[in-house]
């Protein structure tokens, strides 16, 4: 007997299992299907730091959170409507975040005595039998056993058969949310096109899971989520690091420059190197250097030679690059340095997110060493932020730091992607031999205070550059005291002047003035939006502004902030932007900080902000 | 400033002095760097190099000031990292003639890592290591090439470090051209510079350079007329290893052990000697171990100068561009719209 399909506005699902259970893939495939079904969505993958932590342990739990719905979705959500727990450890880690009355789908085979012991449940305790699951809808499925049965005829070994159990679970969820198996089948067919045996087993497991729903006596509720009211256009799903890659390639194409990417692998930035290295037919040159210093140095060398040099890393790598970035500030050459931030200091929390490199980006170099800092606010925003970083680097002849973080890097969302022809060309020109045969002055500046880009190979422009202080205009070495002060001020002014070439700060949502401004940067975008919406719906005059430009700030920022009684700055760090804002504007901005390696939850920021506006 | 070509693009014939800049040279009077600068400028002119197609890239140190004195493009970078800057530059523009100038501290201490990786990757460029066995610019601390027990401001009781052997390190990094010369032998130096330039791949040339302020005479035994014939061994491919004032001594290879033999003694003759073959990597490794202190006595092995080893191996930047072109021919020139759309898309009307 089938029950009618029920409509839902939004659903939050958490897929959780052992690192070897394939939960990232399951979540990713379910997300792809969700995106195509027209929902808005946000994701939050959460992996352990160890590649293969001991099977079955708490340390080995890998999770993938998906929030989708027929209205705008801003964050991956605070509490799960549905938890898929492939083993006891996954349940233990996640059960506290399932909302009351939520659904817990359990792989019974992951709860034998060994699994319970590894999950550190007490000798006598089995969460499937005690009151742990009270108040939840519990669907127990012996996934391992059922998967093995479904593919009993396959000649694959048991280990390989068991790898198909994620497809069984995926099949069940596709059925439950009234989807077809088409997208997943297309993926499997292309992934395993040379491994027919594995393809067949995955296919059968998927189907078996799908049909389980039809044959089950209980738990045969099915749900549907209507497409969201997104702006008309063509969409795809995009993850942050991939959007950076597309932004970099698009920018260099529009600039007409070869893209050079020098990098040294580090979580969570590595996938930028992986993706870029696939796009050689777009003229992309990638160079896996021997360390971060060589990575940035090679990028500077490439820029010196007329390519756009780009390097990408995370916090520890940015620390190593500092001296070379300082040289780029002195050389006044274009350079883009991407920092996909993670928990610090030192190795910190390599697979967790944090916004704690802002101070390092702004100030983490020797000497007076100013440079523009641009930040990404969500996965799809990485595209434009990356293009902006490239534009500023080239048009203002300066290194630029682009800040993203682990949450944005690995999160996915629908993206209304642009047509290439709708993106304007960007202007860049190299210096040419002067007709009058006059001496080339490498540090002569234009109206933006940018010097000319004179690349080796150009006749008549031979000159020397380096890190020693140089005389204005001629670029000759100079130890003259007054010249040094002049140059320090000039380099500073050049960066500050970029404010004239970037848009004014706008209010993202909510009120243009009023009692409270949420001023965010980076990956707090979603939570600032949703909290602003909730508070304005309650009648509070709250606005949300989100900074893409962290140096220089947009020229109207101060005026905008002063239109509100209070300014709250939520950050996933111990308070960094808030210090800069207070310092620069002498304005009593209030910090809101969470430093747990996870995004700020809606409830947390909502309660904090509500408390402030209520106090009036 | 040199104008490289007339308005029709025909290059002028340049002289050594056309490669000198208008900047005052700031090395201490008597420094070995002057002689190297002069030979490099001469060789540039002899080879018909065009200033605008030539780039000198250096790190930090006395030696690394070199680019400021060359009327070519020049990049004075940061301590130890010149190889990495040069690598990116060569990928950006493989046609440039690139010369990396570095010191013993720059290349082998702070930049030891980059040194090794540059050599194994085999970019087509030349690396000139100015080895004065001291940190010149920072006023005389011992360097990775300093001999043991060296008293310097940072080692008042003598240094403890065992010195690195740059030639052995280069060979160990699979360098494709490994040679040694000295500031005090302009002819030999010029010859080595020309051969380094002719080699496609990373040419490593170690140059013994006297720092007359902080390490004066470090190479005296190899450079002074009196001792030079007995302490140095000039490598010439195809020629037996002979040295000595009267060319009365030679090197005989006894199994894997090199021995100094006295040709005048009537035992072994010239025909028995080791004949240098600069394509033999195994023997180059043995030659690299001719690292005795010349004061060690009559049986001390002489210090070799010349090309230890050279071989052909595809250059890094060449392969980068081959891979780019191969990908373009197999996949077609990348289409931005396809890139932006990615795999699966959907439309909202
Ligand atoms: C990061 C950094 N550390 C230290 C220094 C100081 N420093 C400058 S040159 C040098 C050593 C130079 O020795 P070498 O490479 O042998 O060059 P030389 O002066 O002997 O030619 C040192 C330690 C520096 N400039 N940068
Ligand atoms: S300190 Fe030594 S190496 Fe440096 S310039 Fe003077 S003599 Fe030359
Ligand atoms: Mg030295």
Do A466 and B23 make contact, defined as CB atoms within 8 angstroms?
A: no
Residue located via tokens 């210093």: A293
Do A417 and B89 make contact, defined as CB atoms within 8 angstroms?
A: no
Whether residue A595 lies inside any domain: the answer is: yes
Neighbours of A268 (CB within 10 A): 24
Do B114 and A294 make contact, defined as CB atoms within 8 angstroms?
A: yes
Neighbours of A288 (CB within 10 A): 15
Q: Are residues A204 and A293 in the same domain?
A: no
What pLDDT score does B1 carry? 42
Q: Please give the Cα distance from A548 to B147 (Å, whole number).
A: 55
Predicted confidence band at A50 (pLDDT cuts at 50, 70, 90)? confident
Q: Please give the Cα distance from A105 to A570 (Å, whole number).
A: 34
- Closest Cα in chain A to B2: A460
Q: Are residues A22 and A114 in the same domain?
A: yes
What pLDDT score does A3 carry? 66
Phi, psi of B346 (to 5 degrees): -145, 165
CA of A272 to the centre of ligand 1 (A): 34
Average pLDDT over residues A278-282: 97
In order, the DSSP letters of B117-157 are HHHHHT-S-EEEEEE-SSBTTTTSB--TTSPTT--BTTBTT
Q: Tell me, what CATH number does A24's domain have? A: 3.40.920.10
pLDDT tens for residues A111-157? 999 999 999 998 888 999 999 999 999 999 999 999 999 999 999 99
Average pLDDT over residues A222-246: 95
Whether residue A282 lies inside any domain: the answer is: yes
A600 touches A524 (CB < 8 A): yes
Do B74 and A324 make contact, defined as CB atoms within 8 angstroms?
A: no
Q: Are residues A119 and A203 in the same domain?
A: yes
CA of B218 to the centre of ligand 1 (A): 19
CA of B32 to the centre of ligand 3 (A): 11
Which chain B residues contact residue A416 at CB under 8 A? 348
Across the interface, which of B51, B88, B344 has its CB nearest the CB of A260?
B88
Whether residue A575 lies inside any domain: the answer is: yes
- B197 lies within 8 A of chain A by CB: no
Q: Are residues A166 and A302 in the same domain?
A: no
Q: Looking at CA atoms only, how far is residue B196 from chain A in angstroms?
A: 21
Q: Mark which of A380, A407, A422 sits at the end of a domain.
A: A422
CA of B135 to the centre of ligand 3 (A): 4
Average pLDDT over residues B238-261: 96
The pTM assigned to this predicted structure is: 0.95
Do A464 and B21 make contact, defined as CB atoms within 8 angstroms?
A: yes
CA of A165 to the centre of ligand 2 (A): 70
* End-to-end CA separation in angstroms for chain B: 64
For ligand 1, atom 5, name the residue with the nearest CA. B79
Predicted confidence band at A439 (pLDDT cuts at 50, 70, 90)? confident
Residue ranges of B 33-72 with Cβ closer than 8 A to chain A: 50-55, 57, 60, 67-68, 70-72
Across the interface, which of A302, A455, A456 has its CB nearest the CB of B88?
A302
- A287 lies within 8 A of chain B by CB: yes
Neighbours of A256 (CB within 10 A): 12
3-state secondary structure of B71: coil
What pLDDT score does A615 carry? 72
- A435 lies within 8 A of chain B by CB: no
Q: Please give the Cα distance from B111 to B107 (Å, whole number).
A: 5
Q: What is the signed CA dihedral for A5, A8, A14, A15, rounded to 10 degrees? A: 30
* Alpha-helix runs per DSSP H in A216-349: 240-255, 270-278, 292-304, 315-331
- B28 lies within 8 A of chain A by CB: no
Whether residue A447 lies inside any domain: the answer is: no
- B23 lies within 8 A of chain A by CB: yes
Whether residue A535 lies inside any domain: the answer is: yes
* pLDDT exceeds cutoff 70 at B8: no
pLDDT-above-90 percentage for chain A: 93
CB pairs under 8 A between A and B: 226
Do A456 and B93 make contact, defined as CB atoms within 8 angstroms?
A: yes
- Closest Cα in chain A to B26: A477
Domain boundaries, given as residue ranges, for chain B: 16-239+276-317
Q: Tell me, what CATH number does A529's domain have? A: 3.40.50.920
Instruction: Output the CA–CA distances (angstroms, integers) from residue B28 to A38, B19, B24, B152, in the order listed.
Output: 74, 21, 12, 19
B71 touches B19 (CB < 8 A): yes
CA of A245 to the centre of ligand 3 (A): 42
Instruction: Output the CA–CA distances (angstroms, integers) from residue A513 to A42, A184, A586, B129, in the order listed.
Output: 29, 47, 19, 64
How is domain B16-239+276-317 classified at the architecture level of CATH?
3-Layer(aba) Sandwich (3.40)
CA of B23 to the centre of ligand 1 (A): 22
Which chain A residues contact residue B327 at CB under 8 A? 280-281
* pLDDT exceeds cutoff 90 at B65: yes
Average pLDDT over residues B207-212: 98
3-state secondary structure of A327: helix
3-state secondary structure of A53: coil
Tokens of A581: 């804002």
Average pLDDT over residues A7-15: 96
What pLDDT score does A616 carry? 61
A283 touches B324 (CB < 8 A): yes
Total count of domains within chain A: 3
Sign of CA dihedral A322, A324, A330, A334: negative
What pLDDT score does A322 carry? 98
What pLDDT score does A434 carry? 81
pLDDT-above-70 percentage for chain B: 96
Residue located via tokens 């990348």: B334
Q: Are residues A220 and A323 in the same domain?
A: no
The CB-side HSE value for A368 (13 A sphere, CA atoms) comes to 12
Across the interface, which of A38, A236, A298 has its CB nearest the CB of B88?
A298
B182 touches B188 (CB < 8 A): yes
Give, to the nearest 10 degrees, the angle between helix A23-36 and helix A165-176: 30
Which chain B residues contact residue A305 at CB under 8 A? 88-93, 96
Tokens of B24: 């005052």
Across the interface, which of B70, B333, B336 has its CB nearest the CB of A420?
B336
Q: Are residues A172 and A264 in the same domain?
A: no
Q: Mark which of A398, A422, A446 sits at the end of a domain.
A: A422
> Which residue, among A301, A330, A565, has the nearest Cα to A451 in the 3D structure?
A330
- A183 lies within 8 A of chain B by CB: yes
* pLDDT exceeds cutoff 60 at B230: yes
Do A290 and B323 make contact, defined as CB atoms within 8 angstroms?
A: no
- A420 lies within 8 A of chain B by CB: yes
Residue ranges of B 78-107 with Cβ closer than 8 A to chain A: 78, 81, 83-93, 95-96
Instruction: Output the CA–CA distances (angstroms, integers) from residue A181 to A23, A135, A208, A209, A221, in the order listed.
Output: 18, 32, 12, 11, 18
Q: What is the signed CA dihedral for B109, B115, B116, B122, rounded to 10 degrees? A: -170
* End-to-end CA separation in angstroms for chain A: 56
Q: Looking at CA atoms only, how far is residue A387 from chain B in angstroms?
A: 13
Average pLDDT over residues A404-431: 95
Average pLDDT over residues A62-80: 95
Sequence length of chain A is: 616
- Closest Cα in chain A to B67: A464
pLDDT tens for residues B98-136? 999 999 999 999 999 999 999 999 999 999 999 999 999
| Average pLDDT along chain B | 95
Average pLDDT over residues B164-188: 98
Burial of B310 (0-12, 13-18, 19+ CB in 10 A): buried
Sheet holding B303-310, edge to edge: A464-466, B73-76, B54-58, B97-103, B126-131, B203-208, B177-182, B303-310, B232-234
Higher pLDDT: A19 or B44? It is: B44
Q: Are residues A21 and A129 in the same domain?
A: yes
What pLDDT score does B41 carry? 98
Neighbours of A535 (CB within 10 A): 24
Whether residue A61 lies inside any domain: the answer is: yes
CA of B140 to the centre of ligand 3 (A): 9
Phi, psi of A72 (to 5 degrees): -65, 135
- A100 lies within 8 A of chain B by CB: no
Instruction: Output the CA–CA distances (angstroms, integers) from residue B244 to B63, B181, B249, B264, B301, in the order listed.
Output: 32, 18, 6, 11, 11
What pLDDT score does B2 carry? 45
Cβ-proximal residues to A255 (8 Å cutoff; 6+ apart), any chain: A308, A390, A391, A394, A425, A426, A428
Q: Are residues A216 and A254 in the same domain?
A: no
Q: Tell me, what CATH number does A415's domain have? A: 3.40.50.970
- B112 lies within 8 A of chain A by CB: no
Average pLDDT over residues A495-500: 98
- Full domain range(s) for residue A121: 5-224
* Alpha-helix runs per DSSP H in A76-157: 88-94, 113-118, 143-150
Q: Which residues of B150-168 are buried (b: 16+ CB within 10 A; e: fewer)?
A: bebeeeeeebeeebbbbbb
Q: Please give the Cα distance from B4 to B11 (Å, whole number).
A: 6
Q: Mark which of A175, A200, A224 sits at the end of a domain.
A: A224
Instruction: Give the mutation candidate from A30, A233, A456, A479 for the B interface (greatest B CB count, under 10 A).
Output: A456
* Alpha-helix runs per DSSP H in A426-543: 481-497, 525-537
Do A468 and B343 make contact, defined as CB atoms within 8 angstroms?
A: no
- B319 lies within 8 A of chain A by CB: no
Higher pLDDT: A49 or A222? It is: A222
> Which residue, among B98, B67, B40, has the nearest Cα to B316 in the 3D structure?
B98
Q: Are residues A289 and A406 in the same domain?
A: yes
What pLDDT score does B177 carry? 98
3-state secondary structure of A420: helix
pLDDT tens for residues B131-168? 999 999 999 999 999 999 999 999 999 999 999 999 99
- B324 lies within 8 A of chain A by CB: yes
Whether residue A209 lies inside any domain: the answer is: yes
A587 touches A535 (CB < 8 A): no
pLDDT tens for residues B288-334? 999 988 767 777 899 999 999 999 999 999 999 999 999 999 999 99
Residue ranges of A 198-227 with Cβ closer than 8 A to chain B: 227
> Which residue, among A334, A309, A293, has the nearest Cα to B89 in the 3D structure?
A309
């Amino acid at each position: 007997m089938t029950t009618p399909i029920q409509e839902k506005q939004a659903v939050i699902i958490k897929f959780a299992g052992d690192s070897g259970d394939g939960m990232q893939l399951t979540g990713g495939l379910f997300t792809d299907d969700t995106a195509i079904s027209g929902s808005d969505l946000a994701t939050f993958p959460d992996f352990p730091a160890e590649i293969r932590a001991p099977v079955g342990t708490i340390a080995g739990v890998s999770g993938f959170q998906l929030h989708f719905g027929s209205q705008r979705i801003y964050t991956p959500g605070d509490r799960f409507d549905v938890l898929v727990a492939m083993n006891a450890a996954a349940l233990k880690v996640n059960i506290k975040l399932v909302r009351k009355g939520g659904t817990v789908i359990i792989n019974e085979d992951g709860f034998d005595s060994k699994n319970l012991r590894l999950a550190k449940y007490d000798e006598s305790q089995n969460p499937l039998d005690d009151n742990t699951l009270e108040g939840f809808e519990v669907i127990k499925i012996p996934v391992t056993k059922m998967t093995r049965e479904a593919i009993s005829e396959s000649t694959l070994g048991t280990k390989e058969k068991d790898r198909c159990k994620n497809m069984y679970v995926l099949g069940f969820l596709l059925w439950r949310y009234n989807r077809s198996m088409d997208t997943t089948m297309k993926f499997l067919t292309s992934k395993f096109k040379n491994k027919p045996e594995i393809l067949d087993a995955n296919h059968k497991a998927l189907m078996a899971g799908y049909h389980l729903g039809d044959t089950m006596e209980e738990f045969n509720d099915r749900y549907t989520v209507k497409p969201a009211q997104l702006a008309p256009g063509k969409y795809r799903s995009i993850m942050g690091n991939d959007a950076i890659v597309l932004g970099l390639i698009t920018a260099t194409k529009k600039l007409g420059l070869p893209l050079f990417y020098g990098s040294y692998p580090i979580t969570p930035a590595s996938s930028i190197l992986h993706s870029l290295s696939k796009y050689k037919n777009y003229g992309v040159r990638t160079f896996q250097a021997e360390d971060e210093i060589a990575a940035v140095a090679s990028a500077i060398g490439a820029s010196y030679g007329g390519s756009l040099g780009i390097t990408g890393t995370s916090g520890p790598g940015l620390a190593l690059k500092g001296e070379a970035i300082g040289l780029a500030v002195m050389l006044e050459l274009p350079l883009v340095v991407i920092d996909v931030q993670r928990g610090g200091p030192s190795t910190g929390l390599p697979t967790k997110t944090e916004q704690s490199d802002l101070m390092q980006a702004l100030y983490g170099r020797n000497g007076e060493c100013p440079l523009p800092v641009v930040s990404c606010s969500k996965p799809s925003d990485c595209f434009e932020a990356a293009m902006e970083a490239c534009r500023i680097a080239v048009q203002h002849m300066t290194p630029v730091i682009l800040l993203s973080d682990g949450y944005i890097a690995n999160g996915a969302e629908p993206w209304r992607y642009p047509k290439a022809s709708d993106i304007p060309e960007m202007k860049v020109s190299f210096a040419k031999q002067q007709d009058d045969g006059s001496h080339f002055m490498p540090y002569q500046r234009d109206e933006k205070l940018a010097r000319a880009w004179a690349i080796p190979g150009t006749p008549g422009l031979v000159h020397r550059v380096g890190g020693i202080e140089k005389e204005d205009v001629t670029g000759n070495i100079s130890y003259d005291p007054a010249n040094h002060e002049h140059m320090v001020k000039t380099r500073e002014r050049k960066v500050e002047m970029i404010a004239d070439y970037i848009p004014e700060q706008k209010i993202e949502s909510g009120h243009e003035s009023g009692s409270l401004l949420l001023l965010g940067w980076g990956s707090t975008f979603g939570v600032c939006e949703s909290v602003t919406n909730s508070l304005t719906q309650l009648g509070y005059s709250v606005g949300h502004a989100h900074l893409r430009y962290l140096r220089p700030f947009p020229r109207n920022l101060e005026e905008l902030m002063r239109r509100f009684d209070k300014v709250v700055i939520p950050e996933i760090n111990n308070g960094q932007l808030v210090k800069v804002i207070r310092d620069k504007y002498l304005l009593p901005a209030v910090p809101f900080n969470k430093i747990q390696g996870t995004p700020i939850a809606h409830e947390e920021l909502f309660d904090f902000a509500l408390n402030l506006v209520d106090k009036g | 400033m040199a104008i490289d070509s007339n308005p029709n693009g025909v290059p002028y014939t340049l002289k050594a002095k056309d490669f000198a800049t208008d900047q005052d040279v700031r090395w201490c009077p008597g420094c070995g760097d002057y002689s190297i600068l002069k030979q490099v400028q001469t060789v540039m002119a002899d080879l018909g190099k065009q200033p605008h197609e030539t780039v000198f890239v250096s790190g930090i140190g006395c030696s690394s000031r070199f680019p400021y004195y060359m009327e070519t493009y020049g990049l004075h970078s940061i301590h130890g990292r010149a190889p990495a800057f040069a690598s990116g530059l060569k990928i950006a523009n493989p046609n440039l003639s690139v010369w990396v100038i570095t010191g013993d501290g720059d290349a082998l201490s702070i930049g030891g890592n980059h040194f090794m990786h540059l050599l194994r990757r085999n970019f087509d460029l030349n690396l000139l290591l100015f080895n004065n066995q001291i940190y010149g610019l920072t006023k005389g601390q011992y360097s990775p090439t300093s001999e043991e027990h060296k008293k310097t401001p940072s080692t008042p009781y003598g240094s403890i470090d065992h010195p690195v052997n740059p030639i052995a390190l280069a060979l160990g990094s699979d360098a494709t051209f490994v040679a040694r010369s000295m500031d005090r032998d302009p002819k030999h130096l010029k010859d080595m510079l020309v051969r380094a330039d002719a080699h496609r791949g990373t040419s490593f040339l170690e140059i013994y350079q006297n720092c007359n302020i902080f390490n004066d005479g470090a190479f005296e035994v190899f450079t002074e007329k009196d001792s030079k014939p007995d302490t140095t061994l000039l490598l010439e491919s195809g020629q037996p290893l002979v040295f000595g004032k009267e060319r009365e001594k030679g090197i005989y290879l006894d199994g894997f052990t090199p021995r100094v033999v006295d040709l005048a003694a009537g035992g072994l003759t010239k025909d028995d000697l080791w004949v240098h073959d600069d394509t033999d990597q195994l023997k180059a490794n043995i030659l690299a171990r001719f690292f005795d202190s010349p004061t060690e006595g009559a049986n001390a092995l002489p210090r070799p100068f010349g090309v230890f080893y050279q071989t052909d191996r595809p250059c890094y930047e060449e392969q980068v561009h081959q891979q780019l072109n191969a990908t373009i021919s197999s996949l077609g020139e990348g289409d931005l719209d396809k890139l932006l759309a990615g795999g699966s898309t959907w439309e909202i009307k």
